[in-house]
Amino acid sequence: MFKRFVSLEWKQFSRSSYFQKGIAIKILLGLAALWMIASALVLGVAAFFGIQKVMPDKDPITVVNNFVIYWFLADVAFRYFLQQLPVLNIKPYMVIPIKRSTVIHFLLGKTTISFFNFLPLFFFLPFSVLLIINDFAALQVIAWFFSMIFFTLSINYLNFLLNKNNKAFYLILTLLIAAILLEYYGVYSITEPAGYFFNTIYNKPYAVIIPLLLMIILYRFNFKFIRKDFYLDGAISKETKEVHTQELTWLNRFGKVAPFLKNDVRMIIRNKRPKQVLFMSVIFLFYGLIFYTQETYQDMPAFLAFASMFITGGFLMSFGQLVPSWDSEYYKLLMSQNIPYREYLKSKWLLMAVAVVISFILSTPYIYFGWDIYGMIAAGALFNMGLNSFITLYGGVLNRVPMELNVKAKAFSNTQGFNPTQLLIALPKIFGPMLIFYLPYKFINFEAGIIALAISGILGLVFTNFFLNKIEKVYQKNKYKTIAAFSEKK
């Protein structure tokens, strides 16, 4: 039966529109994966020899155990945003005589076969081999290695649950940030109790049973969580709730794009996922505190330009990268109306531009760090409105992943609207302003870099109609591909 499941999953994948993405994108993603694997290998080897050189009086395994807790906490956050959990379309199997347990075990097995589960191997394996070669107790090292693998798989099953419970994720993220800050300012060191725990697992090989039991418990918890709602009526039922209508008449001043703006504002007010994006956009406002408060970055002004762009570009980055996935549930209806496509795109651009302006106003307290920093933030805001907004809209052509606006706690519904292609689209948005600022700064001065960044954004605003017309043609050309992709169920 599992062989049949694998065959059906491959057919679904190979026949879908997602399989038809450009070969160049696949090559770049493959290169990115190889780079991460190579980095993990180098880190695994360098960790052993580096610790021996810097801390010759300490065992490398002890030092790694003291800080491995940060690896796992970061892994939780990394997976939440990037790991695309494989989801089986279970509805067809609900009406045929297949055991529910068989389908659920296959679904959970798919989550195990993930790049994020294999990547830690390339760190822990070479590190463990070097330990054994250098006369560390083989039994203890092997038990420790499998413990790390079991913890990794436990995080995999934990991520399956966190994707359905945003509050739990925000709690873990808050704990991670708090632990880093407490460690940095010397208030409390989480490495001591965590290090004691992981060192105990190393010193007592039979303690490998702890992460093994944790993995089994999380697996069983996921199994019961899915089985609880594994019924046809539960899968197709819809929650009915009262909706309050907002007139939003103040948006009428924007003319033809007003109806689209009203739809977007209502969507943000009423739905969970857009609210999350809005919340994350507010967090971006504090991004500058990481760079402006550190003396290290004062000698690297290109990174200051990077931070300045992010301060005002939080909403643009998080909301804009999911255009047109926000409308995937009714995109077919939207495209069947007698409305200009250009007005639809213009409304998205206008919403992002207004968000940049609001973010810039809210960033006024950064004047505390100096007028040169605030001028860089202003230049970053102009760049975001004039160029990054259009790059983001253009990238939406490659974003054909359907998304549920109200992601509920369903174990078999994880349509997040995110795909790795967006990371590639983000590269010019991130490195573009850094390069535009750095070249004039290098050959002239700091103020020249700010002026170049601001002028590039102003030129983008001047040619707004030109960019919108070009982007409209691309969207029109790919309209039916997008409609077909949004009609699929991932």
- Write down the domain spans for the chain: 2-236, 249-487
68 in Cβ contact with 145 (< 8 Å) = no
pLDDT at 167 over 80: no
The mean predicted confidence, pLDDT, of the chain is: 79
With bands split at pLDDT 50, 70 and 90, how would you rate the model's confidence at 417? very low
Query: Among 15-24, 158-167, 409-418, whose mean pLDDT is lowest?
Result: 409-418
Q: Is 362's pLDDT higher than 80?
A: yes
Q: pLDDT tens digit string along 244-274?
A: 556 677 777 777 788 888 888 888 887 777 8
Q: What is the pLDDT of residues 105-126, one digit of tens each?
A: 877 887 787 888 888 889 899 9
**Residues in contact with 40: Cβ distance below 8 Å, sequence separation at least 6, in sequence order:** 119, 120, 122, 123
Distance of CA 400 to the CA centre of its chain: 16
Task: State pLDDT tens for residues 456-476.
Answer: 999 989 998 998 888 888 888
The segment with the largest mean pLDDT, out of 30-39, 64-73, 83-92, 352-361, is: 352-361
pTM summary value: 0.59
Distance CA 293, CA 180 (A): 16
CA atoms in the 13 A half-sphere facing the CB of 12: 15
Strand partners, 416: 403
Give the Cα separation of 424 and 280 in Å (integer): 20
Q: Kindly report, residue by residue over 186-200, the tens digit of the pLDDT.
A: 777 777 788 888 989
